[in-house]
A and B are shown apart, each in its own frame.
Chain A
């Protein structure tokens, strides 16, 4: 009996521990449930806001709703309207409603280039009128990756086409580039040859300059000698000049005297010459009128020339 008693006490003790464990587990489960619910916003006060989109693409229930990168709510419902528009309801935390004016714009965008899609609300300018429950925001969609790729493709294809043409032109043996390169190559060869000729020319020029320099040196030496001789002669001339000047004075005096005498005589001589010429003309004139000389001379005719009826013959006869 004692054994049963002892067993009973242990059983009771064990039972008590099991109850304690179960209670603790239940409490922990409840706390966890409450924590998860709190985490899921069950205890957060939210307000519904709507926007309409043309397509539900990249919009799905549970998507995060952010303002300036900060999550303030989530997509709660996505439904098709009778007019084929998509009505999206988002639930946003009431605490942040004052940050979203009614003229704000909802936009589907991606977090990074390939991140998850989110609804980003671009706050409007009218801060005095924050959104209220069931307000409708404007909506627009950012360019998706495909659209961006298409735009890039549209812009890159012409560039690629041009590059292809340029490449083909470069590779064409008769193309401008090949011809230009060929010409440049030839010009380079010619320049090299010209450079060699120029170097030869300069070398020859240097040789000639050296030769001329040596000749000029000789000439300068001779010039120095000549200058010395000139100086000597000038000295001699300087000493003889007074005597020469005296003789020149005498000569000039003689010339002046002769000119004076000539001036007295020349008019008379000229008069005599003119008279002699006049007499000769008269004699010739008289002789012309004298027989038989006058018969040998043509008689001057002062009248008009006789009429000459010549007119060039007509180019064409009638």
Chain B
């Protein structure tokens, strides 16, 4: 390397350091006190959500529990609420419905301290839990409470409408189910909440199968399947494929019936989820 080249490199590095220092000074904000416990709780909550998304329920539950303990130790009410909601969700998916109920009841114990959005979220979670338990009366009441607390600006309104659509489907009221799921789909038209859009489409598909509109049902279900495949959620893909199979069954397309079932079976086997596999084999 010649002498001129060495000087050019030095000058470039000096200029880069000066620019970086200047930009850093421009972006400097007033410092907050460091709260290690809060940071750790936030980190654990995020890790738990990622584990939940991967389907690692035991790990997610452990991380949410630790985060909850940390948030309680520093009286972080928002954190406590978030930890309990997330923990309840993980417990519900793992099948421990009583512990999930306990966590959700604990969130409601805060009473008037809860923001409307938080109250709506807690009530919606309770409605989902009651729906899983088959208690339609409680689920309906909780969903109505959630929607009332949510009002128009609530970000979870679409999810609550989907819950109401599922409840209507359980009651056999396909018109109400289509209405609620359609409203949810409209609310989600500009949102990026793909999982909730898939939920709306799946419910619409189920309602249409019940109404004997198998071709239209197939369209909704294929859309839901496409979204769930993008999200990479095996249990929902299997659910969608089994409903697609129902639609083909109603249409009378035997080859597609077998194809859909085989795909559902393959997904369930590859996911290594024994309960899911049993569910498919029971069809």
Contact = CB atoms under 8 A, between A and B. Distances in A.
Interface of A: 286-287, 289-292, 294, 300-315, 317-318
Contacts of B89: 305, 308
Interface in B222-257: 235-236, 239, 242-243, 246
Contacts of B46: 300-302
Contacts of A311: 128, 131-132, 166
Contact of A290 (B23, B49, B79, B243): B23
Contacts of A318: 172, 210
A309 B43 contact: no
Given A302-B45, A317-B210, A307 B172 contact: no
B243 A303 contact: no
B160 interface: yes
Contacts of A304: 81-82, 85-86, 121
A313 B26 contact: no
Given A307-B159, A309-B199, A315-B282, 17 more contacts: A290-B24, A290-B28, A300-B42, A302-B46, A304-B81, A305-B52, A305-B89, A307-B128, A308-B89, A309-B128, A309-B162, A309-B166, A310-B236, A311-B128, A311-B166, A313-B206, A315-B279
A318 to B, nearest CB: 5
B273 interface: no
Contacts of B124: 307, 309
B163 interface: yes
28 contacts: A289-B29, A290-B28, A291-B27, A292-B23, A300-B42, A300-B46, A302-B42, A302-B46, A302-B79, A304-B82, A305-B49, A305-B85, A305-B86, A307-B156, A307-B160, A308-B89, A308-B195, A309-B196, A309-B199, A313-B202, A313-B206, A313-B243, A314-B169, A314-B170, A315-B282, A315-B283, A317-B209, A318-B210
A307 B81 CA distance: 13
Nearest to B163: A309
B53 to A, nearest CB: 9
A303 B195 contact: no
A303 B81 CA distance: 8
Interface residues of B, number: 53
Given A290-B23, A317-B246, A306 B206 contact: no
B26 A291 contact: yes
- With most chain B CB atoms within 10 A of its CB, the pick from A286, A291, A305 is A305
Nearest to B24: A290
Nearest to A303: B82
A303 B78 contact: yes
Nearest to B193: A306
B179 interface: no
Contacts of B49: 305
For the complex of A and B, the 9 pairs showing the least CB-CB separation, nearest first, are: A309-B162, A304-B85, A307-B159, A304-B82, A291-B27, A302-B42, A309-B159, A307-B156, A290-B27
Contacts of B128: 307, 309, 311
Contacts of B195: 308, 310
A161 to B, nearest CB: 67
A130 B190 CA distance: 143
A313 B242 contact: yes
A286 B42 CA distance: 18
Contact of B206 (A292, A302, A307, A317): A317
Contact of A307 (B26, B41, B121): B121
Nearest to B88: A304
Contacts of B175: none
- With most chain B CB atoms within 10 A of its CB, the pick from A302, A303, A307 is A307
B196 A308 contact: yes
Interface string B249-283: 00000000000000000000000000000010011
Nearest to A294: B27
A291 B26 CA distance: 8
A169 B172 CA distance: 81
Contacts of A302: 41-42, 45-46, 78-79, 82
A274 to B, nearest CB: 15
Interface in B171-207: 172, 193, 195-196, 199, 202, 206
B125 interface: yes
Nearest to B131: A311
Interface in B90-111: none
Contacts of A312: 235, 239, 279
Contacts of A303: 78, 82
A318 B177 CA distance: 13
Interface in B16-47: 23-24, 26-29, 41-43, 45-46
Nearest to B41: A302
B155 interface: yes
Contacts of A313: 202, 206, 239, 242-243
Contacts of B279: 312, 315
Contacts of B236: 310
Nearest to A307: B159
A302 to B, nearest CB: 4
